[in-house]
Amino acid sequence: MARILVTGGAGFIGSHLCERLLGMGHDVISLDNYFTGTRENIRPLTDNFRFEAIRHDITDPIYLEVDQIYNLACPASPVHYQYNPVKTVKTNVMGTIHMLGLAKRVNARVLQASTSEVYGDPEVQPQTESYWGNVNPIGPRSCYDEGKRVAETLMMDYHRQNQVDIRIVRIFNTYGPRMRPDDGRVVSNFIVQALKNEPITIHGDGKQTRAFCYVSDMVEGIVRMMETPDLTGPVNLGNPGEFTMLQLAEQVKSQTGSGSEIVFVPPREDDPIQRNPDISLAEEKLGWRPTVQLEQGLDRTIAHFDDLLRSTAS
Ligand code: NAD
Ligand code: UDP
């Protein structure tokens, strides 16, 4: 059994990952500054004596003894990563350097949670790992997109220069229970709006597309990547089912039985028009493909938000 550090362990994906790793019998340390993550997310894990939580910011160095590091610390919602863009860059650059320095010192394997945003507003459909992307270096999304691109560069350079054992996954839009109701990402926004019978807000004309992966599928792919020998990546992880935001709004409305109206609000600056992963590499190298379809994943996520809204209302 391994000693595993999960940065961003109190976040949405991070908390599911910690739970999964504990279930496999590992010792797990969650490291988080609770910017977007919550102690509530990891509360069910705290009874497990193999679990520890540290409040720490990865822009500061930390000295620990671990065998594996999953580096997930970074706000993922455009609303949150644009709140303090300089901090977002620091988290991706200084934070990744600190995790790579730690990995180098203790000879740990380190996995970087990269993103489909490294492809920017892609001119190639679907996106393969060999595509270099179409990223605006000076826009409001750049702190995240370019930050994550530098993080990938650092991973590769520590690997080539210092033989650090690295893994890079490029995560496409992921959703599920434990997203924050005020997260600002599309799935949580639409579900919360629908459950409150408030207008469902579509940015732009709603023809932009995304492909949505349920969180348990994502965690499975991330763990397989960490455990596969001799594969640095990057490897795309996502669900190749592509939907327009208008289709998503209608689907959420229908599955919640909501009377919300669908309204169109101004588009977000530099909002990618189309995004869809080519997951052939993950299928070939990890034997992985998502198993939870959108309808089923939405049902589980709707149930989560329904419970949450009822408990906060009472
Ligand atoms: P999240 O915002 O729920 O989780 C991020 C976690 O990192 C939070 O717990 C936050 O408090 C913590 N954090 C942020 N800055 C930190 C810092 N400086 N030091 C310590 N902790 C810090 O987001 P998520 O959806 O769980 O995303 C997790 C990772 O996956 C992120 O790196 C994100 O970029 C990547 N990713 C997610 C998606 C997605 O659709 N969810 C898509 C692509 C990539
Ligand atoms: N979006 C929307 N309404 C919302 C939130 C988001 O129409 O209330 C759109 C957004 O403009 C983008 C897509 O949904 O085209 C996905 O946005 P999200 O913030 O979830 O993540 P992104 O993929 O842009 O990082």
The separation between the first and the last C-alpha atoms of the chain, rounded to the nearest angstrom, is 42
Kindly state if the Cβ of 170 falls inside 6 Å of ligand 2: no
pLDDT value of residue 24: 97
- In order of 26, 52, 81, 103, 140, the CA distances from 112 in angstroms are 19, 21, 17, 12, 23
Tell me the mean pLDDT in the region 209-215: 97
Ligand nearest to the CA of 122: 2
pLDDT value of residue 241: 92
Tell me the mean pLDDT in the region 152-160: 98
Which pLDDT band holds residue 44 (cuts at 50, 70, 90)?
A: very high
- If one residue of 136, 142, 203, 209 were mutated to test the ligand 2 pocket, choosing by the most ligand atoms within 8 A of its CB, it would be 203
Task: Look at residue 314 and tell me whether its pLDDT is greater than 90.
Answer: no
CA–centroid distance, 81 to ligand 2, in Å, is 13
Kindly state if the Cβ of 186 falls inside 6 Å of ligand 2: yes
Tell me the mean pLDDT in the region 3-26: 98
Give the residues across from 169 on adjacent strands.
113, 235
Question: Based on C-alpha coordinates, what's the Rg of the chain?
Answer: 19
| Residues near ligand 1 (Cβ within 6 A) | 7-8, 10-14, 32-37, 57-59, 72-76, 91, 95, 113, 115, 171, 173-174
pLDDT value of residue 109: 98
Cite the active site residues: 144
Kindly state if the Cβ of 141 falls inside 6 Å of ligand 2: no
Helix axes 142-162, 85-106, angle to 10 degrees: 20
Residue owning the nearest CA to atom 25 of ligand 2: 78
Tell me the mean pLDDT in the region 115-126: 96
pLDDT value of residue 313: 78
Dig out the tokens for 261 from the structure: 């109206």
Fold of domain 3-173+213-237: Rossmann fold (3.40.50)
Tell me the mean pLDDT in the region 220-229: 98
- If one residue of 127, 210, 213 were mutated to test the ligand 2 pocket, choosing by the most ligand atoms within 8 A of its CB, it would be 210
CA–centroid distance, 76 to ligand 1, in Å, is 5
CA–centroid distance, 74 to ligand 2, in Å, is 18
Which pLDDT band holds residue 20 (cuts at 50, 70, 90)?
A: very high
pLDDT value of residue 100: 98
pLDDT value of residue 58: 98
CA–centroid distance, 37 to ligand 1, in Å, is 8
- Phi, then psi, of 103 in degrees rounded to 5: -60, -40
Which pLDDT band holds residue 312 (cuts at 50, 70, 90)?
A: confident
Tell me the mean pLDDT in the region 117-139: 96
Residue owning the nearest CA to atom 23 of ligand 2: 173
Helix, strand, coil: what percent of the chain each, to 5? 40, 20, 40
Which pLDDT band holds residue 223 (cuts at 50, 70, 90)?
A: very high
pLDDT value of residue 250: 97
The continuous run of DSSP H or E covering 200 comes out as: strand 200-203
Residues of the chain above pLDDT 70, percent: 100
Kindly state if the Cβ of 78 falls inside 6 Å of ligand 2: yes
Residue owning the nearest CA to atom 4 of ligand 1: 11
CA–centroid distance, 259 to ligand 1, in Å, is 32
Domain layout of the chain by residue ranges? 3-173+213-237
Residues of the chain above pLDDT 90, percent: 98
CA–centroid distance, 120 to ligand 1, in Å, is 18
Task: Look at residue 176 and tell me whether its pLDDT is greater than 90.
Answer: yes
Pairing of strands 166-171, 235-237: parallel
Ligand nearest to the CA of 248: 2
For the entire predicted model, the pTM comes to 0.97
Residue owning the nearest CA to atom 44 of ligand 1: 115
Kindly state if the Cβ of 210 falls inside 6 Å of ligand 2: yes
Q: ∠281-284-285 over CA atoms, to 5°?
A: 80
